[in-house]
Amino acid sequence: MIPQEAPQTAALDYRVRSGADQFYWIAGLGVANSILYAINAVLFFPMGLAVTQLLTAISRSQTLEMRAVSGLAVLVFLGIFLLSGYYARKGELWAFILGGAVYLFDAVLLIILGDWFAAAIHGFFLYYIIRGIIFLKKSE
């Protein structure tokens, strides 16, 4: 017979993974936004990263060396979210906190830039990240 705690534990694990998966969405849409911006598209994903868009925009009018530095910085930001997703799925609290803090910084940047819609979408993603943290703490 399966103990009563098993379904509850599975539900908690699912919610933790769901929160962690937000980081993969953020990274993927950040890549998409950088590509879209680089090819002068007019469509962008509001849940992507403002930081990567700014770095891509700044690098357009710079030297090749500055473009390389900007590209490296974009990769670092995207890497933070990929690693946060990977380790958060493994139940690492620090990964949720790191990824969530960087995404919160990005949301604040959007507010400063006046992009309220994208900031609200960031809030939606942050809600699920925080929910993942809460369920991770409950599962311990």
The answer to whether the beta carbons of residues 16 and 134 sit under 8 Å apart is no
Confidence (pLDDT) at 83 = 97
1 pLDDT above the threshold of 50: no
Average pLDDT, the chain: 85
Domain residue ranges of the chain, discontinuous segments joined by +: 18-38+47-139
34 pLDDT above the threshold of 90: no
Model confidence band, residue 100 (pLDDT cutoffs 50, 70, 90): very high
Residue count of the chain, please give it. Answer: 140
Distance from C-alpha of 111 to C-alpha of 98, rounded to nearest angstrom: 20
Confidence (pLDDT) at 7 = 56
Distance from C-alpha of 13 to C-alpha of 7, rounded to nearest angstrom: 10
Conformation bin of residue 28: beta by default, left when phi > 0, alpha when psi is -120 to 50 = alpha
Distance from C-alpha of 51 to C-alpha of 72, rounded to nearest angstrom: 13
Confidence (pLDDT) at 8 = 60
Query: Which is it for the CA torsion 122, 127, 130, 131, positive or negative?
Result: negative
3 pLDDT above the threshold of 50: no
Question: Token digits for 103?
Answer: 């995404």
Tell me the percentage of the chain whose pLDDT exceeds 90. Answer: 48
